[in-house]
Amino acid sequence: MGNAVLGVIGGSGLYDLPELVGAEWVTVDSPWGEPSDAVRIGEVDGLKVVFLPRHGRGHRYAPSDINYRANIDVMKRCGVTSLVSVSACGSLKEEMAPGSFVLVDQFIDRTFAREKSFFGKGCVAHVSMADPVSPRLVEHIAAAGAAEGLTLHRGGTYLAMEGPQFSSLAESKLYRSWDCDVIGMTNMPEAKLAREAEICYATVAMVTDYDSWHPHHGAVDIQEIIKVLHANSDNARRLVARLAKDLPRQHEACPVGSDTALEYALMTAPEMRDPALVAKLDAVAGRMLSR
């Protein structure tokens, strides 16, 4: 399957990975516009690691302002085969306490103001999102977390809201009634785009608060969130460093087809495809478009 390359998208509080050896910030151009920042490329025990701060260094971009397509396109251009999204979130379950991590396996997308696909008029494609997370990558993350003594919850549904405001009490209760586990603002359309780009994807959701539903915690307190963020970010860096150290150096085929998601997805006949759109898809869909 070729060499493995680990990508990491860092959320709130995670703007760098100082553990990378020989790292440098590299500007990578994308036909989809400006990504959140340059990428930091380095190694951990010989494994290439590509890091991108989702909100930009200094937290310049709100969730709805992030160019998710450019971010994923840049990761693909850097050769990333497995992508870990490290994301701050609120908990909708008592047992998922602030300071813990949740390895999400499902998403509900409630965002509405974002570009959600690389494809469209001129080149139509439909990928399956039944299994949005790569289980083999999750296994490696879980093993890394256990080795570092971190509190990890396996499985859970991530409710993606538009933001930037936090939930009302009524919304928080509604999402709990849907049996969602955590709530955040950034993993959609990121997970959808990673799937379209045939990159194995997994989310490490860092719980910062209990959202607004909890009777003993009340409204979301941004000062408390920041405190937990700092602690979570330190733990996240340890987790990523261990994952990079232990990840197999040869990319493993994804059992749910994350790395072959476009195999039967392209619908537009080759002679009917828009050349301008096809040119923009060179990294994301080049494997299939070159056939």
Q: Which residues are catalytic?
A: 209, 211
For residue 287, how many C-alpha atoms fall within 13 Å in the half-sphere facing its CB? 15
Write out the two tokens for 109: 């997308």
- 191 touches 167 (CB < 8 A): no
3-state secondary structure of 141: helix
Which residues make up each annotated binding site?
Answer: 12, 54-55, 87-88, 185-186, 209-211
Distance CA 55, CA 40 (A): 14
Nearest to 286 by CA among 73, 41, 34, 6: 73
**How far apart, in Å, are the Cα atoms of 217 and each of 203, 211, 220, 227, 233?**
25, 9, 8, 15, 22
Q: Which amino acid is at 266?
A: L
Write out the two tokens for 201: 């994807």
Distance CA 67, CA 28 (A): 14
Write out the two tokens for 192: 């959808």
Q: What letter would DSSP give residue 129? A: -
Which residues make up each annotated binding site for substrate?
Answer: 185, 209-211
User: For the chain, how far is it from start to end, CA to CA, in angstroms?
Assistant: 18
Which residues make up each annotated binding site for phosphate?
Answer: 12, 54-55, 87-88, 186
Alpha helices in 187-221 (DSSP H): 187-196
- 194 touches 217 (CB < 8 A): no
Identify the burial level of 56 via C-beta atoms within 10 angstroms of its C-beta, where 0-12 means exposed, 13-18 middle and 19 or more buried.
middle
Q: Write out the H or E segment, with its range, that includes residue 173.
A: helix 169-177
